[in-house]
């Protein structure tokens, strides 16, 4: 793992809650040479970290993405296709929605 002191998007996997949180975090970038030296280790670390940048001459050229993060990205993209859902999200963010509590069915 190389820590070059940069910041980028990262992902935290919360297996107990079944969700992935994308946020800004310290990078755990790898150079192409480092990746070539130990692919299995890089894959194991990516499973834990969520996203790893692959750099060439100090610039990100690719990313390793864990299965959980990729599934979350694909699910988000699928939800974003629903224009009615996106309209509700926009209205909620603008403070234009009121929510009512749904009673439990006990």
pLDDT tens digits along 31-48: 999 999 999 999 999 999
CA distance 25 to 8: 6
Tokens read off for 45: 């670390």
**38-65: average pLDDT:** 93
CA distance 6 to 27: 6
**pTM for the structure as a whole:** 0.60
Q: Are 79 and 88 in contact (CB under 8 A)?
A: no
pLDDT tens digits along 64-100: 999 999 999 999 999 999 999 999 999 999 999 888 8
Q: Strands 59-65 and 30-31: what pairing?
A: unpaired
């Amino acid at each position: 793992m190389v820590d070059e002191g940069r910041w980028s998007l990262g992902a935290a996997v919360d297996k107990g809650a079944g969700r992935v949180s994308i946020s800004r975090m310290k990078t755990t970038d790898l150079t192409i040479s480092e990746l070539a030296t130990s692919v299995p280790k890089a894959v194991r670390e990516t499973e834990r970290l969520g996203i790893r940048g692959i750099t060439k001459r100090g610039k990100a050229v690719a990313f390793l993405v864990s299965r959980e993060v990729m599934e979350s990205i694909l699910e988000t993209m699928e939800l974003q296709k629903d224009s009615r859902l996106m309209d509700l999200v926009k209205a909620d963010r603008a403070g234009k929605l009121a929510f009512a509590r749904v009673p439990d069915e006990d």
